[in-house]
Structure 1
Amino acid sequence: MDLIALADFNLVARHGGFGRAARAAGRPKATLSRRVAELESSLDLRLFERGARALKLTQEGRALYERTGALLIELDEAATAIASGGDKPRGKLRISAPLLFSQIAMGNLAAKFALKYPEVRLEITTEDRTVDMIEEGYDVVIRVNPDPDESLVGRIFLRDRLVVVASPHLQRPTDGSRVPAVVRGTANQTGAWEVTSPSGRSPSGRSRIAIDPVLHLSSLIMVRDAVRAGVGAGRLPVSLVSRDLAAGALAHWGDGVGPDIELWTLYPSRRLLSARVSAFLDYLKEAFPKGTPDELASYIGG
């Protein structure tokens, strides 16, 4: 198989079209089209469906892209490492991270990582949606409690938990009446929050807080700020409010019942990781050696 033609096929697949691939690589569009056509002819397979306005991978094309893309990257990095006399992290590192973690930690993390590895060009996209790492060209994805994915491997690097908090001036009802609440999202949330007592998390210490949502906000940072202002109680990650709790600016009404919040790093399932991905994973381990909410809270400014 012609490795140059295979590399050109991967380039076109990654950028989603001959024109975009040509502009990104600074190469003639006609050359890329010819190389891909030659690869299709040698394999006797159609790799792309060519519409009037769009280019789409066939089932066979997607399988070839998923199985060869990572290998070509490793070959390129191995050649670069040998030529430079070492395996020093370099090149572009694309990361997708969730909104809240990006807002409270990624700026600081990214800056320190860039200072430590100046030859790595870090590119971070903030989004909570599920991304296709291969198709969208991400090297690492950070997600909260991700669903299992056989095509990816990963590790937990942080744990957090939910707590119910409120302004010290807002009294927690003792008669079961509803308390004003600030919630994330626009769904019509009613009912109650189940919590354990602040002094312990055993099942015997559970209670319920009936809520009346008075504010629906799209960001947990917005929820925290509204709770600080005394509008209502909120259910928030402890890392986001630990400083306020320590300073007495917020009162702790109880710990949320349910599984902990787990932050994972996910990356394509392959035996050899690039030097830049390995460096970033090791850096997260250095930044959060215990993976506790307190370590995450230290990255929150103000």
Structure 2
Amino acid sequence: MDRIDAMRAFVAVVTEGSFSNAASALQFSPQLVSKYVSKLEEQLDVRLLHRTTRKVSLTEAGTHYYQHAQQILLSIDEMDSQLGGLQQNPKGTLRISAPVSFALKHMAKLVAEFQLRYPLVNVDLQLNDRKVDIVDEGFDVAIRIGQLKTSSLIAKHIAPIRVILCASPDYLKQYGTPIKPEDLKTHRYLHYSYMEIDGKDEVFRWLRTQNTGSALRSNNGDVLVEAAIAGAGIVLQPTFIASKALQSGELIQVLPDFELDPIGLYAVYANRKSLPNKVRFFIDFMEGYYGSPPYWDNLIAK
């Protein structure tokens, strides 16, 4: 049994939702797809899929294997592309969805430099903080920030994203500087509408209690950072928005010893056996572009 073909068959079953759909996508017979997955489970000595007459679903082991298998197949496809089609110039229209604040601050230069290198690619960059449906809405790539959940999409990690609590010196002078997380309960909170409040530490527990009674709510992080600079309260925002205000002293980090774990900046795209060069070259161009740590974090002390 070809291990790579078996891995592709398994990933296709998960992505397409059934053995018959996977067979059509791979141009295999349903019997061969089923044989590949069964042999893979036999070799691994673990069940990867729950099978019923109506649907298939991942086991816990299958979920872990699926995530790793996607990355392995992606690496193989990238290697094949580099060896077989590296000299092909990418062309066509590249449709990208990206978060508003991140794109305004950090994507214009990237797109301009990408097009200088690949002038046959036209870029259609659409800004939206909601999670678009890449396939249904016709996007080639979506730039997303957060802790991504398992899906049929491929996610390429681009850079770490620090998210910190901060407030203006005037606000802290008037209301006091929190020393420990429980001190936050007496402060005004500026809430980002799309932020998913999750986590087990004391800072997250406080944020969940403030979710419905925030001093200010907005679906734009720049507005909230400007409000924090004006003294409206404490805000939780990524450093790619707040770094200049932190560097200038207009904002001060609050509870630095309790800083949350970094989240990620990802390029997300549909799982395709043959990825268009315009998409592959753009993702390769993004990888490492912002640095590690990203250049905006070099402006401020951690």
TM-score (norm. length: structure 2)? 0.58
Q: Alpha carbons of 1:207 and 1:142: their partners in 2 closer, same or farther (altered >3 Å)? A: closer
- For 1:275, which of 269, 274, 277 is the aligned residue? 277
- Give the match for residue 26 of structure 1: none
Higher helix share: 2
Separation (CA, whole Å) in 1 of partners of 2:241 and 2:113: 21
Residue 296 of structure 1 deviates from its aligned partner by 4.6
Contact 1:240-1:297 within 8 A present in 2 as well? no
Residue 258 of structure 1 deviates from its aligned partner by 4.4
Separation (CA, whole Å) in 2 of partners of 1:67 and 1:298: 46
- Give the match for residue 103 of structure 1: 104
Contact 2:164-2:260 within 8 A present in 1 as well? no
Contact 1:245-1:252 within 8 A present in 2 as well? yes
Separation (CA, whole Å) in 2 of partners of 1:86 and 1:246: 43
Contact 2:99-2:144 within 8 A present in 1 as well? yes
Structure 2: segments with no counterpart, 5+ residues: 1-16, 27-80
- Give the match for residue 264 of structure 1: 266
CA displacement 1:163-201 (0-9 Å, x = unmatched): 1111111223569461122222399x9xxx944xxxxxx
Q: Which has the larger radius of gyration?
A: 1
Higher strand share: 1
Separation (CA, whole Å) in 2 of partners of 1:136 and 1:216: 28
Contact 1:166-1:234 within 8 A present in 2 as well? yes
Q: Alpha carbons of 1:273 and 1:207: their partners in 2 closer, same or farther (altered >3 Å)? A: closer
Contact 1:173-1:179 within 8 A present in 2 as well? no
Contact 2:169-2:252 within 8 A present in 1 as well? yes
Counterpart code for 2:224: V
Following superposition of structure 1 onto structure 2, how do residues 31-50 of structure 1 map, counting pairs within 5 Å? none
Q: Alpha carbons of 1:245 and 1:186: their partners in 2 closer, same or farther (altered >3 Å)? A: closer
Separation (CA, whole Å) in 2 of partners of 1:248 and 1:296: 15
CA displacement 1:225-245 (0-9 Å, x = unmatched): 000111211111122222222
- Give the match for residue 179 of structure 1: 187
Following superposition of structure 1 onto structure 2, how do residues 17-166 of structure 1 map, counting pairs within 5 Å? 67=25, 86-144=87-145, 145-150=147-152, 152-166=153-167
Q: Alpha carbons of 1:186 and 1:90: their partners in 2 closer, same or farther (altered >3 Å)? A: closer
Separation (CA, whole Å) in 2 of partners of 1:260 and 1:249: 23
SS in 1 for 2:114: helix
Aligned residues: 208
Contact 1:186-1:216 within 8 A present in 2 as well? no
TM-score (norm. length: structure 1)? 0.58
Q: Alpha carbons of 1:247 and 1:257: their partners in 2 closer, same or farther (altered >3 Å)? A: closer
Residue 125 of structure 1 deviates from its aligned partner by 1.5
Residue 254 of structure 1 deviates from its aligned partner by 2.0
Separation (CA, whole Å) in 2 of partners of 1:222 and 1:238: 14
Q: Alpha carbons of 1:86 and 1:283: their partners in 2 closer, same or farther (altered >3 Å)? A: closer
Separation (CA, whole Å) in 2 of partners of 1:235 and 1:298: 19
Separation (CA, whole Å) in 2 of partners of 1:222 and 1:298: 23
SS in 1 for 2:214: strand
Work out the percentage of aligned pairs sharing the same amino acid: 25
Counterpart code for 1:295: Y
- Give the match for residue 60 of structure 2: none
- Give the match for residue 295 of structure 1: 295
Residue 127 of structure 1 deviates from its aligned partner by 2.1
User: Over aligned residue pairs, what C-alpha RMSD do you find?
Assistant: 3.8
Separation (CA, whole Å) in 2 of partners of 1:296 and 1:120: 28
SS in 2 for 1:170: helix
- Give the match for residue 6 of structure 2: none
Residue 120 of structure 1 deviates from its aligned partner by 0.2
Separation (CA, whole Å) in 2 of partners of 1:141 and 1:173: 38
Counterpart code for 2:283: L
SS in 2 for 1:213: coil
Contact 1:163-1:238 within 8 A present in 2 as well? yes
CA displacement 1:107-126 (0-9 Å, x = unmatched): 22222222221110111122
Does 1:169 pair with 2:170? Answer: yes
Separation (CA, whole Å) in 2 of partners of 1:298 and 1:257: 17
